[in-house]
Each structure stands twice: as structure tokens, then as C-alpha cells.
């Protein structure tokens, strides 16, 4: 073995300390924080408690979930908080904390939903984890599914007057984490995928029985039994049938599923699925269009890092415009940014080339998302961080338990670090973007483990004369038709020399928020233009899966544009296996 071959493993697998982030060259004002914590006025006193501070068990480290949707159809985004638990209570057969609903007052501040929205505790002991928000009954009201240890609960929205619990999802024991709605078979009814993490253990003999850098830490996920993810076919009435095996949604070996996102990877009109697995390869499930799925993660290059190593895999985000898939990972691993190759056949891991590798090595990332935060026409990126081991604060670990959340501004072909918020490091987990105060930019809801649910108002420096547009589907069966729809915005500008140019941006509609989060089912665009007069025209085209497209010309900017979902065409004929890319 050659002497200098000592380098390669070390240099690929970094252990961490707080890195010195190279300050990016930035225009004036770039050091201003992009988000302001307004929790004290917007959502005071709401926390997620998840086990003891010592984190003796893996059950205590993932935290809860958060979702945004217009539950009462008053035009603004309401909030659902899920999750947490206590090991002692769980051992005493106590149920997990109930999901909590907070209604938006219309200005980005929230109030508890009132008696009608109070959700009763579960009948079984458990821990809460994630959620999915979507209209699975097709009555136009957003319903709810929650995940966790104990039971995956199903709630029907009673016309904006509260949730009524239905029968739980059929499943065996274990700990589920994230969930996502989609209509995988184009039958007009919402289906559901739920990621399975593991079967937790609470054997006292194994309390903090593992070692990390010489420190005693919780056991897992390695050494614990992984849980298969599940695909449920919706019947349209709140009942779901487990079709995992029949649909081929079953790898040979279960992964430790943490995050899930929907994406039409090959743009064939059939929504695919990407699942992030902890310490095992990530899965990209290609929807064949005939009711079955095929796992293609390895061949597409989105299962491992650039060196072929498995990573932790927590949060997920997709930039449909740029063809990027982003995955947050453990400390000592850089977050992964998979970029589609020019040929379109596969992806390459580009975190290093695009400036995201170095800054992420010290951090342990969770909730994440792309969004045009400064309305300059491209998608920026937030990452919520926090370690899993309190022992990270011990000397010599090169890590910290509480970590800074991160923001990266997209500048050309790279990302540059920007200050997300004032204040010190935190132990963050799930998060989701949404325009909470209806001012056209994307605000952030960030959760913590054993900490508050925070509302972060977007105060990013905007591009000069920036504009925005939110496209929101509307219709009785909006959700099934909308998920996977591609919204394309075409903006014609005049240049200074009098010529015209056209800029096109694309967003795929999805409510999956990656890690234990549910996002608003809408497409947000930022448009960097000169004076409004220089924008000659804006056209919005929505290509619905299995439905005729909608084209709207001469769209006015700076509004929420409701687009009616067209009637379903004749049922889409199943594709032959292997068609599409």
C-alpha cells in the first residue's frame, strides 16, 4: 500500500469540529439575517418534547413533525404539529402527545384551533413522529395522517370544523417516520407512502451501550431491526390498503427510512418516490405506470455518495428547475446534492462543486427545502441542524450538540452561505417553508427536539423590484390531481436594449416535505424583473398527471393564483413495463 494512500479514506470521511466557513464575497447587506424569529408573537409556548435530555435511546432523538395547509379554507396556511413522547410514559402504556392544530389568523400568527380541532390521544402507547396533509376523501378539505411508534393515525377533516379520527393504517409494530401523499395509479384517489425506520428497543442493558468517539451513546440504528416502508392504495374514504408487495415497493433488505419525497424523476407523468435511508442506501422508486414500482437508486446514482458509501440520509429537498435532489446527512458526512447529468440519464453528486460539501461536514442535517427566498428567480436552500448525541459536546469529538441552522443562496452554479437567523446554535429537526403572512415570500417553520416550534419570518434582502407568484390548485379533488403536476411559469421581459427574453421556471406540486414534514400544495415563484413595465407577459401552464393541461396567459404577478383542476380525462392506459426514461 502506498504511503500517500493514507489520505483517501481520511479525506473522504471527515470527523468534525466547527469548521471555519469561508466568508463568501457578497454584495452589501448580505450579512443581514434572512429570517427573523417571531415565535414570541406568532406561536408562543408550543414545544415538542421528545424524551430525556440524555438521549439514552434512539427513540428520543428524531423529534416531531410539522405541516402547513389551509385546513379551514380561509386562504391562509394553518399549522399542524406532531410528535414527541416520553420513554417512561411509553413504558407505562401512555399514548403519544396528540397532534395539535393551530389556525392562522391571516397575518402569520397562530392560535390554537379550538375545541373542534382538539385531537384525542391515541388508544395505544407510542411516540409521535411525522405527518402528511392531503385531501384523501376528495371533498376539498385537507385531511391528516400521522406517523410514529404505536399507530399511524388517520383523520378526516370535517368541513373545516375539526378532525375526526378514522381507523388507523393497517400495519404491524414498529416506528414509522415520514409520509407522503400521491396518486400513483391515476385513479383520482390519494394514495400514501409511509417510511419505516426500525423496531426500537428499550432494554436497560443496552442503555447508551454504543460508543461514538469514545463516548457512550444510544444504540442504533445499526444493530436494530429495520422496518420496511409501506405503500397504501387509497379507497377515497379514508381507508387504505397496503399494496407494498403487490406494487413491488419492497426492496430485498429493508432500509432505515427517514425521509420521503415525491418527484416525477423522468417526467413521464407518473409520480416517482425518493426515500432517504439512515446508514443504508437511499431508494428511488420509479413508477412504471402499471401499478408497480422499480427501485433505480443505484443505477441513477442517488443511493450513495460519490465514493460509493452509504450515508445517514435524513432530510430531502428537490429543485425541479435545476434538476437537483438534496439529502442531509450525518456529521462527518457532507450533505449530498445530486444533479442530473446533461444527458439526463443519471445524477452526479455535486455538493463539492456547488459549495455545499465543506460547510455541511461539521453539521448533522435534518429538515431542508429549496425555495426562492429572495425572489431573484432561483432556488435557495435552508438546512436545519442539530446533533443526535449530547456527547458531541465532549472534548475531542470535533462536533457540537447544538448547531447553527444554515442558509445557502443560489448564485449562478454554486451556493453561498448566508446568515439564516440571529441567535446561537440549536438542536433542530423538521422544518417547512410557506408564505405564512401572505406577503409573497416564504417563511419557515422550524422544530427542535425538546424545544420550541419556531416561526421564522422571511426578511431576506430582495432583488430589486422583485415579484412573486403562488399557484395553488383548486377543486374538489385537487390533491390527487395536483400532486406531481408540473407548473411552468414563462416570463417575457424587455431588456435594456429593447430586445425581449423569456425566462422559464418550473415547480412540481408536492405536499411531501422530506423529513417528517408536510408542505403546502402550491408552487411559489420569485421573479426578478426590472420595473413591472419591463415584464411583457407572464404565462402559467400546469401539466396535470392524466388530465389536460391548463394554460393561463397574461397572469398578474404578486398574487395567489388559484387554478381549477380540470376534469379527469379517460383513465390513463397503463404503460408497458420499462417505458419512460
**Chain contacts with other proteins (rule: CB under 8 A):** 1-17, 19-20, 22, 209-219, 222, 279, 298-299, 301, 304, 306-310, 312, 330-334, 341-343, 345-346, 348, 352-355, 357-362, 389, 394-396, 398, 414
Q: How far is the CB of 193 from other proteins (least distance, A)?
A: 25
Asked if 286 and 229 count as a contact pair (C-beta separation under 8 A), the reply is: no
Q: By C-beta, is 213 or 568 nearer to other proteins?
A: 213
Q: How far is 471 from 476, CA to CA, in rounded Å?
A: 17
Q: How far is the CB of 4 from other proteins (least distance, A)?
A: 3
Residue 494 makes CB contacts below 8 A (sequence gap 6+) with 500, 530, 534, 536
Q: How far is the CB of 137 from other proteins (least distance, A)?
A: 41
Q: How far is the CB of 577 from other proteins (least distance, A)?
A: 14
Q: By C-beta, is 211 or 474 nearer to other proteins?
A: 211
Asked if 318 and 508 count as a contact pair (C-beta separation under 8 A), the reply is: yes
Q: By C-beta, is 429 or 462 nearer to other proteins?
A: 429
E strand or H helix that includes residue 16: none
Check residue 95 and give left, alpha or beta (phi > 0: left; psi -120 to 50: alpha). beta
Asked if 537 and 388 count as a contact pair (C-beta separation under 8 A), the reply is: no
Residue 236 makes CB contacts below 8 A (sequence gap 6+) with 136, 137, 138, 188, 189, 190
Q: By C-beta, is 74 or 393 nearer to other proteins?
A: 393
DSSP state of 565: P
Q: Concatenated DSSP letters for 295-340?
A: E-HHHHT-SS-TTS-------EEEETTTTEEEE---TTS--EEEEE
Q: State the cell numbers at 315.
A: 432530510
Q: How far is the CB of 20 from other proteins (least distance, A)?
A: 6
Q: By C-beta, is 91 or 299 nearer to other proteins?
A: 299
Angle among Cα 413, 419, 421 to the nearest 5 degrees reads 140
DSSP state of 8: H
CA-to-CA dists, residue 142 to 152, 420, 479, 480, 560, angstroms: 17, 31, 9, 11, 18
Q: How far is 420 from 269, CA to CA, in rounded Å?
A: 36
Asked if 263 and 218 count as a contact pair (C-beta separation under 8 A), the reply is: no
Asked if 402 and 228 count as a contact pair (C-beta separation under 8 A), the reply is: no
DSSP E strands, 158-291: 163-165, 175-182, 191-199, 210-212, 215-217, 225-226, 230-234, 240-242, 257-263, 272-277, 283-287
Q: How far is 265 from 286, CA to CA, in rounded Å?
A: 8
Residue 556 makes CB contacts below 8 A (sequence gap 6+) with 538
Q: How far is the CB of 127 from other proteins (least distance, A)?
A: 21
Q: By C-beta, is 205 or 496 nearer to other proteins?
A: 205
Q: How far is the CB of 493 from other proteins (least distance, A)?
A: 31
Q: How far is the CB of 138 from other proteins (least distance, A)?
A: 39
Q: By C-beta, is 179 or 357 nearer to other proteins?
A: 357
Q: How far is the CB of 215 from other proteins (least distance, A)?
A: 6
Q: By C-beta, is 235 or 304 nearer to other proteins?
A: 304
Q: By C-beta, is 256 or 525 nearer to other proteins?
A: 256
Q: By C-beta, is 212 or 562 nearer to other proteins?
A: 212
Q: How far is the CB of 314 from other proteins (least distance, A)?
A: 13
Q: How far is the CB of 304 from other proteins (least distance, A)?
A: 7
- Among 137, 143, 136, 146, CA closest to 160: 143
Q: By C-beta, is 81 or 392 nearer to other proteins?
A: 392
Q: By C-beta, is 38 or 337 nearer to other proteins?
A: 337
- Among 261, 250, 192, 190, CA closest to 226: 250
Q: How far is the CB of 367 from other proteins (least distance, A)?
A: 20
Place of cell 423538521: 430
Amino acid at each position: 500500500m502506498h504511503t500517500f494512500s493514507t489520505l483517501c479514506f481520511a479525506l473522504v470521511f471527515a470527523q468534525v469540529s466547527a469548521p471555519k466557513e469561508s466568508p463568501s464575497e457578497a454584495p452589501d447587506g448580505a450579512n443581514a439575517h434572512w429570517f427573523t424569529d417571531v415565535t414570541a408573537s406568532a406561536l408562543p409556548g408550543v414545544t415538542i418534547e421528545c424524551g430525556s435530555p440524555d438521549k439514552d435511546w434512539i427513540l428520543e432523538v428524531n423529534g416531531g413533525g410539522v405541516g402547513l395547509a389551509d385546513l379551514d379554507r380561509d386562504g391562509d396556511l394553518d399549522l399542524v404539529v406532531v410528535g414527541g413522547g416520553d420513554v417512561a410514559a411509553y413504558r407505562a402504556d401512555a399514548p403519544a402527545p396528540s397532534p395539535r392544530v393551530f389556525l392562522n389568523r391571516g397575518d402569520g400568527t397562530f392560535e390554537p384551533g379550538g375545541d373542534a380541532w382538539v385531537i384525542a390521544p391515541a388508544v395505544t402507547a407510542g411516540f409521535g413522529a411525522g405527518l402528511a396533509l392531503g385531501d384523501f376523501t376528495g371533498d376539498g378539505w385537507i385531511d391528516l395522517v400521522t406517523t410514529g411508534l404505536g399507530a399511524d393515525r388517520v383523520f378526516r377533516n370535517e368541513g373545516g370544523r375539526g378532525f375526526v379520527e378514522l381507523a388507523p393504517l393497517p400495519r404491524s409494530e414498529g416506528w414509522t417516520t415520514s409520509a407522503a401523499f400521491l396518486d400513483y395509479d391515476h385513479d383520482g384517489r390519494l394514495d400514501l407512502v409511509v417510511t419505516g425506520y426500525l423496531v426500537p428497543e428499550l432494554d436497560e442493558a443496552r442503555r447508551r451501550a454504543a460508543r461514538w468517539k469514545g463516548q457512550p451513546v444510544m444504540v442504533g440504528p445499526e444493530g436494530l431491526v429495520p422496518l420496511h416502508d409501506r405503500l397504501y392504495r387509497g379507497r377515497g374514504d379514508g381507508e387504505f390498503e397496503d399494496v407494498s408487495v403487490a406494487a413491488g415497493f419492497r426492496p430485498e433488505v429493508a432500509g432505515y427510512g427517514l425521509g420521503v419525497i415525491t418527484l416525477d424523476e423522468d417526467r413521464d407523468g407518473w409520480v416517482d418516490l425518493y426515500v432517504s435511508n439512515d446508514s443504508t442506501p437511499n431508494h428511488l422508486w420509479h413508477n412504471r405506470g402499471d401499478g408497480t414500482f422499480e427501485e433505480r437508486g443505484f443505477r441513477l446514482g442517488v443511493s450513495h455518495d460519490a465514493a460509493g458509501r452509504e450515508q445517514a440520509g435524513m432530510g430531502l429537498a428537490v429543485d425541479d428547475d435545476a434538476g437537483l435532489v438534496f439529502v442531509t446527512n450525518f456529521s462527518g458526512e457532507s450533505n449530498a446534492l445530486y444533479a442530473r447529468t446533461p444527458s439526463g440519464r443519471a445524477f452526479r453528486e455535486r455538493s463539492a462543486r456547488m459549495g455545499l460539501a465543506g460547510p455541511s461536514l461539521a453539521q448533522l442535517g435534518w429538515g431542508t427545502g429549496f425555495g426562492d427566498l429572495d425572489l431573484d428567480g432561483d432556488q435557495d436552500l435552508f438546512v436545519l441542524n442539530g446533533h443526535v448525541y449530547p456527547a458531541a459536546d465532549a472534548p475531542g469529538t470535533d462536533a457540537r450538540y447544538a448547531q447553527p441552522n444554515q442558509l445557502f443562496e443560489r448564485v449562478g452554479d454554486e451556493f453561498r452561505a448566508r446568515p439564516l437567523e440571529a441567535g446561537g446554535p440549536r438542536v433542530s429537526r423538521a422544518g417547512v417553508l410557506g408564505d405564512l403572512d401572505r406577503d409573497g415570500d416564504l417563511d419557515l417553520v422550524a422544530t427542535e427536539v425538546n424545544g420550541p416550534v419556531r416561526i421564522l419570518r422571511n426578511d431576506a434582502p430582495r432583488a430589486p423590484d422583485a415579484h412573486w407568484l403562488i399557484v395553488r390548485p383548486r377543486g374538489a379533488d385537487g390533491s390527487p390531481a395536483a400532486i406531481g403536476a408540473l407548473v411552468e411559469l414563462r416570463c417575457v421581459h424587455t431588456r435594456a436594449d429593447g430586445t425581449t427574453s423569456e425566462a422559464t421556471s418550473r415547480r412540481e406540486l408536492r405536499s411531501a416535505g422530506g423529513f417528517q414534514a408536510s408542505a403546502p400544495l402550491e408552487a411559489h415563484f420569485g421573479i426578478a424583473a426590472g420595473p413591472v413595465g419591463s415584464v411583457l407577459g407572464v404565462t402559467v401552464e400546469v401539466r396535470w398527471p392524466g388530465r389536460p393541461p391548463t394554460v393561463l396567459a397574461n397572469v398578474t404577478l404578486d398574487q395567489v393564483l388559484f387554478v381549477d383542476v380540470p376534469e379527469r380525462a379517460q383513465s390513463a392506459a397503463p404503460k408497458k413495463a420499462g417505458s419512460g426514461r
